[in-house]
Amino acid sequence: MSDLDNIFINVRARLQSEGVKLWEEPYYSEELGSIEGALENLAKEYSRTLGFDMSRCKFILTELQENALRKLAARREFSATGIATFKVRRIDNRNGTTNMLDIKCDLNSLGSGLQAVIAEKLQLPDQNHVKCIAAGRMVAANATLAAQQLKNNQQLIVIVGDGNNRSEALYERINRVKADVQAVVSSQNRLVEMEDQNGSPVFLPPAENRALLIGLGFCEKARAAMLREDFEEALLLLLEADESFATCDSQFLESVDNYALLNLDIVWCYLCLKNVTQLPDAERRLAVCGRNFRRSYGDSFERLYLLKGKACPERALIMRLQLLQGVVMFHQNRRDEAFERFEAAGMLLRELKVNADQLALLVEMGFEETEARLGLRSCEGNGNVELAVQFIQERRQQLKDARKQSKAERALQRRLMRSNANDSDWVNPRSVCTLTEMGFERALAIVALQRSKNDLPKAVELLQTESDALRAALPQTSASADTVKLAHLLQLGFNEDNVRVALEATSNDIERAIECLLRAFQSEDELKQTMDRVSRMVDSKGQDLDGPSTSNAQAAPPSPIIDAVMRHARSEIETYKAYERFNSDLSQNDMDYLDLPLVQEEKILAEYLNMLQQ
């Protein structure tokens, strides 16, 4: 932020407090235009009272007057024609430049129409390269601007995918990430699962679980982009995550840290992109984050400090929140409140700084830099290497124990998810384990939880008082495996026990059985071996796939079965490849979201404190 921005904020605030209207007399008239003498006198007065250079004050007043006149003209045009004017800010994070454009578009046009107008203005060949953000939401291409509540004279951010990552445009990378995240989350192999901070699984109804996992997937990829300082890509991915989270229960969202961190990260991207046009959205998102932190940690973070000690690594998130709150207050000219936030952020920053030599020592000892920094920050006094090592080892053991303890719950969750249950059929695996530990049959426990909508005490009551009715509701025993289909699948190299289970579980539906068998494979190599084996069979017996064998060899399975195996195997391999791409740039440390180096935060804090003191 420049000194000129600081003057702009002060001058604008003074104009608003005094009710000065630069688009009216004595500063402007329809006949004469801008009245230089009146503007110069006002600039001299503000220069004297605010302590800024007079020429700079006049420059700011002239710019504010021109902005006001443009808005006035846009209002008149909108009243006469219905054509809206948008103040569009194009951000290019790579060279640090920002362009301001006036874009005109009918509010009844689709979002794609607005993209086309902007693309034409910027001389871009493809409107899909244009991503518009309005009030913290991406403008959808297939809905009208009016339906998305865009308004005349609204300010928009535009991010353009010029492309620099192996010749891929930004929008292509975003689309690839979206496809990979959805493929990974949709996989029945449970390639990604949700855990709490202690490594224990989190179980939710299928639809909500899917939406949250997709949102968290976008957040992880956004965090990787932020580490590369690619804040344009990060912001677009975070807004995708926001849309995914929006389909979840709002009370649940505001009770978990992930949603708070999403909002915090979005505002951080606004700041790093030097975008103050989204100030109202930034204030709203920081309020959501603050409410969540107070609910989780206490009004003064007393619950957090009581549970984890005053040296907990979560202080880094609190520091960033206070810094961003201070920045928003500064731009609102709430300077005293901003100073208080900056002071609090500065105090935490000093506490969180780690000794570079101690950090290097822990890395030399074989610890990752992330866990070394978190270990040092988590020690009282911030700098005891022995305590840091103890913290890291205890954390590793805690995660190991939690994941070992939840192994049975995870296995049960996979079986339940593979049964294609919808939200109304879903049961919490942890509740099933609890009931079986109490001595109830697993099958009856599942039916009781379905009927009680996962109300554990009510399920216990049903098991105790209505066990006969529950038993009558158990699904009928599945039919035996079809011998012909069994033989065909055995020819393709599948294990006999697995084939029998798959056929019986799917009532001899060959397509679903093949799908189950291939999903049971634990690696991409197993899938490729199956495809190679089937391909060789096709090559050697291609003339006899649908008829009797003309040799002593057994006839190959019918072509629809072979086609189904090849199709499902390709689909599963693509899912594995999507997972590899998704996972390629992600940190494997579960606490990396707390590992803020705080270098940028320190620079921003110093910059704003310096402007407050001017």
Round the average pLDDT of the chain to a whole number and report it: 83
Over its C-alpha atoms, the chain yields an Rg (Å, rounded) of 31
What is the predicted pLDDT for the residue at 551? 42
Measured between alpha carbons, how far is 420 from 443 in angstroms, rounded to an integer?
16
Q: H/E element holding 182?
A: helix 170-186
Lowest-pLDDT range of 38-52, 299-313, 414-428, 595-609: 414-428
Residue 312, φ and ψ in degrees, nearest 5: -70, 145
What is the predicted pLDDT for the residue at 1? 64
Categorize the per-residue pLDDT at 423 as very low, low, confident or very high, splitting at 50, 70 and 90: low
Strand partners, 493: none
The DSSP code for 271 is H
Question: What is the distance of C-alpha 170 from the center of its chain?
Answer: 17
Q: Is the pLDDT of residue 426 over 80?
A: no
The whole model's pTM is what?
Answer: 0.79
Crossing angle between the packed helical segments 429-437 and 456-465, to the nearest 10 degrees: 50
User: Tens digit of pLDDT for each residue in 360-411?
Assistant: 999 899 898 888 888 888 886 666 888 888 888 888 887 777 666 555 555 4
Measured between alpha carbons, how far is 573 from 326 in angstroms, rounded to an integer?
49
* C-alpha dist (Å) from residue 459 to 203, 419, 447, 454, 472: 18, 21, 9, 7, 16
Q: Characterize the bridge pairing of strands 130-134 and 83-92.
A: unpaired
User: Tens digit of pLDDT for each residue in 199-244?
Assistant: 666 667 777 778 888 998 999 999 999 988 889 899 999 999 999 9
Measured between alpha carbons, how far is 348 from 596 in angstroms, rounded to an integer?
13
Categorize the per-residue pLDDT at 252 as very low, low, confident or very high, splitting at 50, 70 and 90: low
Lowest-pLDDT range of 7-11, 149-153, 450-454, 552-556: 552-556
Quote the percentage of the chain above a pLDDT of 70: 85
User: Tens digit of pLDDT for each residue in 473-516?
Assistant: 887 665 688 899 888 888 888 888 888 877 876 778 888 888 87
Q: Is the pLDDT of residue 413 over 80?
A: no
What is the predicted pLDDT for the residue at 549? 43
Q: Is the pLDDT of residue 568 over 90?
A: no
Residue 27 burial (CB count, 10 A): 20
Categorize the per-residue pLDDT at 329 as very low, low, confident or very high, splitting at 50, 70 and 90: very high
Q: Is the pLDDT of residue 262 over 50?
A: yes
